[in-house]
Amino acid sequence: MHDLIIIGAGPAGLTAALYAGRSRLDTVLIEKMAPGGRILMSETIENYPGFPGGISTVELISRMEQQVKELGVKIQSDEVLDLDCEKKTITASSGTYAARAVIIASGAHPRKLNVPGEKEYTGRGVSYCATCDAPFFKGKKVVLVGGGNAVAEEAIYLSRFASSVNIIHRRQDLRASEILQEKMQQDKKISFILSSLVTEIKGAKKVEAVKIKDLLSGKESDFACDGVFIYIGYEPETVFLKGKLQMDEAGFIISNESMATSVDGVFACGDCRKKSLYQVINACGDGAVAADSAYKFIADRSR
């Protein structure tokens, strides 16, 4: 029986572990992959305070991990399959865990476009991670789908490798921040195909083209390319919690300002919870609050 189990070692979970460790809670942090989460899909982060010019995401995460380990918090590699919210017991691939409180920091995964060819060509030209796959597209022509901060950051990154970077977005206006839009405008390799949808990804052994529908004219045409990077938002990693605590219709966990969920002693932080801004900085803030709330919950029950 531990004091606290934290599910997920992205920035939210690592910060929760940092605060829990400093409160001397007996804490286990469970992560199915390496610590970091989806921040590692970007090469650098430019809007984390204190690092003018940005910091490599790998370095930021390894510093967070080191800080947590220095406090004696155990990072356990395992995949959580089920959580009994009332009993605070977790069934994972390698066994079961029990605690007095649980923090869910399970994050989110990239949303799929759900068009013909996407599944078939994943790993053969279709990618959700420019940082991982950009070197394969040196001197090649790539398409990116989306209009948010992620597509903008990754377009700028990919332009260091690809010969041309073409952003296809379903509306006329991007939702990426102004500073990223300015950077893209200054990059001669980046161009835009707006008010358009990718309706199919085509190829033979690898991706060779995307079919694009112009939403203004209704016309469809093929656009030759070697790679397709999809950045159309994220879905919460909460399927294992369905029906166990309150969520919105998209599966984001509903939690209050103390990060408390609808179940006593279960807290949620970071990208898996419903909120208005999904950034590393407030994922960390969420994690700190969740750990503080868990500490108070455990202390109250011990009296």
Q: Name the residues that contact ligand NAP, by CB under 6 A.
A: 47, 113, 145-151, 153, 170-171, 175, 231-234, 278-279
- Give the nearest distance from C-beta 114 to ligand NAP in angstroms: 7
Taking alpha carbons only, the member of 110, 90, 82, 125 closest to residue 228 is 125
- In the complex with ligand NAP, the residue whose CB is nearer, 232 or 245, is 232
To ligand NAP, the closest distance from the beta carbon of 265 in angstroms equals 29
Q: Which is nearer to ligand NAP, 214 or 292 (CB)?
A: 214
Comparison of 231 and 295: residue with beta carbon closer to ligand NAP: 231
Residues 259, 267: Cα–Cα separation, whole Å:
5
Question: What is the closest distance, in whole angstroms, from the C-beta atom of residue 173 to ligand NAP in the complex?
Answer: 8
Cα torsion 252, 253, 254, 259: sign: negative
Q: Which of 3, 133, 226, 286 is catalytic?
A: 133
**104, 269 Cβ separation under 8 angstroms:** yes
Kindly give the pairing relationship between strand 141-145 and strand 227-230.
Answer: parallel
Catalytic residue among 82, 84, 132, 264: 132
* Residue from 26, 78, 85, 129 carrying the catalytic annotation: 129
Q: Are 147 and 171 in contact (CB under 8 A)?
A: yes
Give Cβ neighbours of residue 123 (< 8 Å, ≥ 6 apart). Answer: none
- Has 85 been annotated as catalytic? no
What is the total residue count of the chain? 303
Least Å distance, CB 150 to ligand NAP, is: 3
Strands (E), 204-289: 207-214, 220-224, 227-230, 234-236, 266-268
Nearest to 105 by CA among 271, 276, 294: 271
Dihedral sign computed on CA atoms, order 174, 175, 180, 182: positive
Q: Any bridge partners for residue 229, and if so which?
A: 127, 144
Looking at beta carbons only, is 53 or 139 nearer to ligand NAP? 53
Residue closer to ligand NAP by CB (options 204, 277) is 277
- Closest distance of CB 52 from ligand NAP, Å: 15
Residue nearest to ligand NAP (CB): 148
Backbone angles phi, psi at 59, to 5 degrees: -70, -45
Q: Which residues are catalytic?
A: 129, 132-133
